[in-house]
Amino acid sequence: MSARVALLMGSNSDLPKLQGCLDTLKNLGVACEVRVMSAHRTPEIVSEFASQAEQRGLEVIIAAAGGAAHLAGVVAAHTILPVIGIPVEGGALNGLDALLSTVQMPGGIAVATVGIGSGGATNAALLAAQILARKDPALREKLLEDRAKRRQKVVEADQELRGR
């Protein structure tokens, strides 16, 4: 199965923080290509990857970076594919700098941005899957099942807390 989603990260040290994204895509059966590239250290690689992504069959790009966190914006500047930015937690501001860098895009270059932390990584995968599911009924069903399981966990936790 060829990848429909790419997960790009600024550093391989970000991988543990992005595991929820990879796990969620895998659980939904969405093939993902994972790469390390930097908006600042390898800008030509980022440009080439993003500009050729659609031709290679990719449909959504997820870009995760910390600090200056320009990866998602640079990717979005080179493609019209949906780009989802994950601000990676860490550094002196614990990810706030990455959040602001990712979300503050100039008009005309769109990046959908999720939250900092493990919830953001999971939500990036879910958002990518929701985009794909618009034209993929089987994936839509998997998303509905996933949502039902998440709901059931909350119901069971409530029942346990109330002693039922």
pLDDT tens, N- to C-terminus, the chain (164 residues):
799 999 999 999 999 999 999 999 999 999 999 999 999 999 999 999 999 999 999 999 999 999 899 999 999 999 999 999 999 999 889 999 999 999 999 999 999 999 999 999 999 999 999 999 999 999 999 999 999 999 999 999 999 999 87
Kindly report the pTM of this predicted structure. 0.95
- Tell me the C-alpha to C-alpha distance, in Å, between residue 164 and each of 137, 153, 156, 161: 37, 14, 9, 8
- Regarding the domain delimited by 5-136, which CATH topology (the fold level of the hierarchy) does it fall under? Rossmann fold (3.40.50)
What is the chain's length? 164
